Structures are given as structure tokens and as C-alpha cells.
Amino acid sequence: MQDKTPRTLFGRAPDHRLLTETQAAPYIGMSRSFLRQSRMNGKRQNRTAGPPFLKIGRKVLYLADDLDDWLLEHRHDG
């Protein structure tokens, strides 16, 4: 069975640029609930801000490049 998960930076080939919430959550290792709450609440003190997103009508999408950048912003080098 072929893996249909979009893949980019972390050992992955750039076959999809736009990801749905369902695809984006496992891609960044967070829950769909985290993505929803971060969209609704925005930036809050003592909370990790969620990645940037696109909203077209009622559809919410994430750019794979934005998710990669967001992951790198939260990287700690010890």
C-alpha cells in the first residue's frame, strides 16, 4: 500500500504544497485540536503559537513550506 502523506523537508519529496488540517497535524507531530485552538486563540502568552494557515471560504489549508519553517523556529540546539 502506498503512503499518501505529503512530504517535504524532513526526508520527504515535495509532491504536495497544500495540506489539510488532517494532513498537517501528523506532519508536525501535533493534534488537530492544537491546530484548531491556535487558529481560534491566536498568539497568547505562555502558549505555543500555531503555524500560519490559509483560509479560503470555510476551508483551512497549510503550506508545507510554512509548516517546515514553523518546525525549524521551534528547534532547540541544547
Q: What is the pLDDT of residue 41?
A: 85
User: Which residue from 41, 44, 67, 37 is spatially nearest to 54, judged by alpha carbons?
Assistant: 67
Using a cut of 0.75, tell me whether the model's pTM lies above it: no
Beta bridge partners of 69: none
Task: Give the domain ranges of the chain.
Answer: 18-73
Q: What is the mean pLDDT of residues 61-67?
A: 95
Residues 6+ apart with CB under 8 A from 27: 5, 6, 19, 64, 67
Could you list the beta-strand ranges (E) of the chain.
Answer: 18-20, 54-56, 59-63
Mean of per-residue pLDDT scores for the chain: 84
